[in-house]
Amino acid sequence: MRRSRLNFWIDTLALFAMLGLIATGWVIYYTLPAGSGGHGRGAAWTLWGWSRHDWGNLHFWLAVGMVGLLLVHLVLHWGWICAMTQSLLPGGNGGTKRLGTATRTILGGTTLLAFAGLFGLFAWIAEAQAIRPATASGGSSRPALAEAGAVHEEQEQEIRGHMTLEQVAAKAGVSIHELRERLGLPESVSDQVGIGQLRRQHGVEIAAVREAVADLRASAAR
């Protein structure tokens, strides 16, 4: 593939990733604001069958994809970046010898490592400086929070708005007949109906599906 065509497709994908980041960020901040996830305090708000948690996951992976595309873009234009940087330095326009391929490669690798180091430093500082209230026993609240939210997090990860009723039952290991009964759905409802359709056609939110699965699992464990 010609370099110009490759640049075009990389830039096009980056544009769509950026638009996706803007759209999902808008949904997370305005359409499904903080506190709309339910978490045991009522039904979660959803958009097209996806909760705030689902949209947050999509937002994160769009960001990862955007970073990957940006790195590819930098690699494809690294020679031009080095030439422009050199021209901006004192004496850069006065016939200074251009950098060789090996030198540009070393500079590129060093720059990449520097940015990776800065991100690692930020992650370390954030982890060290985060304020986590102590539990009643005086320890960190992280284990307690993890234990309290384990079931909810598992359900969030397993059950998504794009899944069908049959897929939910198979994924959760519960009877689809019992799941339909727990949700108050008639037998006429197809096993292939999507969770998003359940909300639109029968008023069943994804949080109710997750709760029904948790109840069925608890009953089976007893």
AA letter at 65: G
Contact 119, 63 (CB under 8 A): no
92 pLDDT exceeds 90? no
Q: What does the pLDDT look like over 5-27, one tens digit per residue?
A: 888 899 899 999 999 999 999 98
Percent of residues, the chain, with pLDDT higher than 70: 74
Taking CA atoms, 66 is separated from 14, 24, 26, 109, in Å, by 6, 14, 17, 20
What confidence score (pLDDT) does residue 182 get?
85
Q: What is the pLDDT of residues 116-148, one digit of tens each?
A: 889 889 888 887 876 665 544 455 445 544 444
Question: What is the pLDDT at residue 21?
Answer: 93
pLDDT at 157: 52
| CA nearest to 207, candidates 31, 24, 99, 54 | 54
> What's the pTM?
0.52
